[in-house]
Amino acid sequence: MPTLGQNQYGKAETRIVKVTREGTTHHLEDLKVSVALSGDMDEVHYSGSNATVLTTDATKNTVFAFAKEYGIGSPERFGTLLARHFTESQPTLTRARIRMESYAWERIATPGEGEHSFLRDGRGVRTAQITHDREEGWEALSGLTALTVLNSTDSEFHGFLKDRYTTLPETRDRVLATDVTALWRHRWSGPQDATPDWNASHAAARGHLLDAFARTYSYSLQQTLFAMGSRVIDHRPEIDEIRLSLPNKHHFLADLTPFGMENETADGAVYFAADRPYGLIEATVLREGATARIPVDATNL
């Protein structure tokens, strides 16, 4: 006889923009929030009884109401408020997972006319996931995605395995580019612990990822990934684990020989930026003694 396995439900991708006004100076917070709830849900699946089900419309309304009543501050803080509310206010809901994307906006200077104009920041998207389970406790994951970076030199790739299908030439100087997706787990057991400065922690981790990418002389994207993750672990004691997903945004020298032109010269070169297919490098970097808990496919969710 079939039995019910793991299940969850909720409202996905609720978009919320909060404007805070301080006179003529305005502040903008822009989030996408997805709520997933689990608990006593057997009967709704077996018989269609909705007696234990909080409507997904109510979860959406809660997101908007909490943004107004309690403010956002950071995705992690806001996710904690929501997760605690759902698991503590409804006896049938034992687990809540809140996933968020935060979109940054830059202020457009308008001297003498009030500070209320903004430009969408294209330097990546901040992410967070807060999970509360009554039995297993709390988990806080922070991260980022769509952070595009490029080194125009200081990257090599050679000495790799070769077989009858290998056509890629070795190189001692190449363009290395990637779209960084990263997710890191905090050493935090929930609101009963001292609350981290989520914004400062995220800014510092992002800075270390960028610094390691720029400073690492790369012989492989795997080496660069490990250097990036290691720098975060070494410099941020509140972080125990980081998962990185780095697509290799290939740049190939354009063939200009049909035009009687030499491409790669002392004054530069022209490259073809390939869209796909692309190499995909993924790995987890852990603090010594820590246990990996971020799912291997988490950065692709």
Residue written as token pair 């909490």: 66
Q: Rounded to whole angstroms, how far apart are CA atoms 159 and 174?
A: 15
Which residues have C-beta within 8 Å of that of residue 225, sequence separation ≥ 6? Answer: 244, 246, 281, 282, 283, 285
Query: Annotation-wise, does 64 bind a ligand?
Result: no
Is 293 annotated in some ligand binding site?
Answer: no
Q: From the candidates 11, 186, 202, 249, which is the catalytic residue?
A: 11
60 is catalytic: no
User: Binding site annotation covers 248?
Assistant: yes
φ, ψ of residue 42 in degrees (nearest 5): -60, -50
- The rounded distance, in Å, linking the Cα atoms of 214 and 151 is 7
In contact, 243 and 298? CB cutoff 8 Å: yes
Could you give the angle at the alpha carbon of 26 between the alpha carbons of 24 and 30, nearest 5°?
A: 165
Catalytic residue, from 250, 251, 284, 299: name it.
250
Annotated binding-site residue? 222:
yes
- Report how far residue 206's alpha carbon sits from residue 121's, in angstroms, rounded to the nearest whole number: 15
Q: Which residues 6+ apart lie within 8 Å of 68 measured at CB?
A: 18
Which of 52, 56, 92, 145 is the catalytic position? 56
Mark whether 3 is an active-site residue: no
Catalytic residue status for 92: no
> Which structure tokens are listed for 210?
């960028």
- Is 174 labelled a binding residue? yes
Active-site amino acid positions: 11, 56, 250
Binding site as annotated, residues for 5-hydroxyisourate? 56-57, 157, 174, 222, 248
Please give the annotated binding residues for urate, written as ranges. Answer: 56-57, 157, 174, 222, 248
Residues annotated within a binding site for O2: 56, 248
Please enumerate, by residue number, every residue annotated as part of a binding site: 56-57, 157, 174, 222, 248
